[in-house]
Structures are given as C-alpha cells and as structure tokens.
Amino acid sequence: MATTSKRRLLLFDIDGTLITSGGAGEQSLKNAMQEAFGIPEDLQGINLAGATDGLISRQMLEKSNLDVTPENITALLDAYLHNLKQRMPLHKGRLLPGIIQLLEELKKHEGCVLALLTGNVARGAEIKLGHYGVWDYFEFGAFSDDSHDRNQLGNFARARALERHGEEFPPEQVYVIGDTPRDIECGRAFGGKTVAIATGNYSLEELEAHHPDFLFPDLSDTAAVVKVLTS
C-alpha cells in the first residue's frame, strides 16, 4: 500500500503561464488544417485559452464538417507538430516573467515535485519548453494525449506521481498553476489547490471572479510565489 506523501505536487500549465510562443502555436494549427485537409482555417469561434489540443482538433474538424475520427485527429495533430517545430524559432515568443528564477528556487525544495498539467500533447509541450530550455525542470506531466477533457488531467498527474514516487499525493497537496478559468476548473475538479496567474488572456479581475485559492499578476515575485507553493 502506497504511503501518503507529505510533499507537494506542483502542476504547471505552459501557454500563458510559463511561456508565450509568439503566435507559433496558433499559426501551426492554421497551417495544419490546410496541409492535412486542404481547408483554410482562421480559428474564429474556437477558444484556445486553456483548451486541450484534443478538444481544439475536434472543434476544428467539426467546424470544417469533417468526421471527428481518431485518424483525422492524428493527421491534424501530426501536421501541427511538424509545423510547430519549424515555427518556434521564427516567432518572437519568450519565457514569461520570473520563470527561470522560480523554477530554480523550487528545484531546491525537497518537499516539492515539479510536473506539468497542460492542454498540449506531450510532444508539443516538449517542443515549446525545449525551445526555451526549461523542459528538463519537470519530471513528468499530464497531457492532451491522456484526455481531451482537461478536467480529467489532474487524475492522470496524480497517478503518474504515484507510479514514479510510490507515494499518494492527496488532492490538497496538489497545486495547479495556470492562466485561465479552465485551469482553475481543472484543479477544482479533483479537489486540488488553484493558483491563477494573469499573464495570459485573462485579467486579474476576470480570474478573481472564478475564485482561485491564490492569484498573482505574474510569477516574478519569486519569494511570494515560493511561499505559497511550499509552506
């Protein structure tokens, strides 16, 4: 029987929380629909913020009256990943404020496990974070490969933490850090703590309306963020 961990599992979102890709992700999705199916795509009517790649793919196929089959989803995501790898160096993306300092500080805390909870497929997450040199800070992750429903990803992350560490991480010891209401909803779905960051498409006021446990304008105040995540 697994022991109950006294450590904290910190689950970071990627886009709008750790990085901005400078539009590389959006343009890669547009190009993917054209390349895979010969259909122009402007992403109008599709809310990308906090959505999983699996959900976005389904919505793109439905919008173009294509069958939502595993084969079509795979074709679209394969084209997306091919484009993303090529486009990342071409766009003026960046790490968001305070990220390196925060990750370096958290890495020193034995009471923390750093991982990802993201709507990206795993390969997309690696392409994005690898481009900015921060992929290796994270032990593992829960990705769109696991489920297109973001609210299921917390369960996958906890199961992966148990498998990796042989410890059960209680929900109250799991922190979901993200920039959208969907991140807050995702953390709440399994009883985790929610940390909202206003570095994406949502303001402090908009995020506050969803009642996260903690709220920051960005992650640049390393001491304050570390205190919340570790104490």
The CA angle 91-92-94, to the nearest 5 degrees, is 120
CA of residue 21 relative to chain centroid, distance: 13
Q: Domain locations in the chain?
A: 3-21+94-230, 24-90
Q: 112-148 pLDDT, tens per residue?
A: 999 999 999 999 999 999 999 999 999 999 999 999 9
Residue 68, pLDDT > 90, answer yes
CA of residue 209 relative to chain centroid, distance: 21
Decide: residue 205, CB within 10 A, 0-12 exposed, 13-18 middle, 19+ buried: exposed
Confirm whether pTM is higher than 0.75.
Answer: yes
**Element housing 8 (H / E):** strand 8-12
In percent, the amount of the chain with pLDDT more than 70 equals 100
Domain 3-21+94-230 adopts which CATH fold? Rossmann fold (3.40.50)
Query: Which numeric CATH code is attached to 24-90?
Result: 1.10.150
Mean pLDDT of 163-188: 97
User: Whole-angstrom Cα distance, residue 214 to residue 231?
Assistant: 13
Residue 1, pLDDT > 80, answer no
State the pLDDT confidence band at 231, using cuts at 50, 70 and 90: confident
Q: 172-184 pLDDT, tens per residue?
A: 999 999 999 999 9
The pLDDT assigned to 217 comes to 98
State the pLDDT confidence band at 7, using cuts at 50, 70 and 90: very high
The CA angle 105-110-112, to the nearest 5 degrees, is 75
Q: 205-219 pLDDT, tens per residue?
A: 999 999 999 999 999
The pLDDT assigned to 94 comes to 97
Mean pLDDT of 27-49: 95
Residue 100, pLDDT > 80, answer yes
